[in-house]
A and B are shown apart, each in its own frame.
Chain A
Amino acid sequence: GAVVSQHPSWVICKSGTSVKIECRSLDFQATTMFWYRQFPKQSLMLMATSNEGSKATYEQGVEKDKFLINHASLTLSTLTVTSAHPEDSSFYICSAWGGRGRVYGYTFGSGTRLTVV
């Protein structure tokens, strides 16, 4: 149980285009999803927290207009990197939190490697 699916696992896009990353909780309802960014050999940096049906809360320094987050259902959150530039190239990882018992609390997706050329 407590499986989080993230798609795509990798994507290459041209500078200036937008990319959408999906995060799905497969066997539980995720009231909250978190989006992280990780540069090579560095830790995971929390970008934003999204609660189903409400606007995402962004961490300081994260541009909300550039990283659009939508949490339209209890099983799906999406992160759209708009007008991507090479400096946006990174490993993006989502985490889903069920909030209904600890066993569903701490599951991560497998990550999306974004390369902007």
Chain B
Amino acid sequence: GQQLNQSPQSMFIQEGEDVSMNCTSSSIFNTWLWYKQDPGEGPVLLIALYKAGELTSNGRLTAQFGITRKDSFLNISASIPSDVGIYFCAGQLYHTGNQFYFGTGTSLTVIP
């Protein structure tokens, strides 16, 4: 499968701080997605990006599709305790069957 490298692996931040994480790949993807996963649950979609250079926001979350189509980043502004969880990026390849491949994940801890 495809390898998506996500960084940082974990983050410990104070409530109110901004967060930034990114995802890189050796492959070109047609779609980039960002998910949040709580323990014992399936991933929940946060933001979907469909074309290179696209910048999309969802509340305090902003994500961008890199112009090379090999990377993406996610920013969370003014973090709150409920932002705690594991964040995954995922890339989709249309021409090989629409599969999604996931990044290695970023564990976020918000300290009140």
Contact = CB atoms under 8 A, between A and B. Distances in A.
Contacts of B112: none
B42 interface: yes
A43 B102 contact: yes
A113 interface: yes
Interface band, chain B: 20 to 34
A106 B34 CA distance: 10
Interface of A: 4, 6, 32, 34, 36, 42-46, 49, 51, 57, 59-60, 91, 93, 95, 97, 99, 102, 105-111, 113
12 contacts: A34-B99, A36-B102, A43-B105, A44-B88, A46-B1, A46-B99, A46-B102, A49-B99, A102-B48, A102-B50, A108-B44, A111-B41
Given A46-B101, A93-B42, A110-B41, 10 more contacts: A32-B97, A44-B43, A46-B102, A49-B99, A59-B1, A60-B1, A97-B98, A102-B48, A108-B42, A113-B40
Ordered nearest first, which 7 A-B pairs have the shortest CB separation? A108-B42, A44-B102, A111-B42, A110-B42, A43-B102, A106-B45, A93-B42
Interface of B: 1, 33, 35, 40-45, 48, 50, 88, 97-105
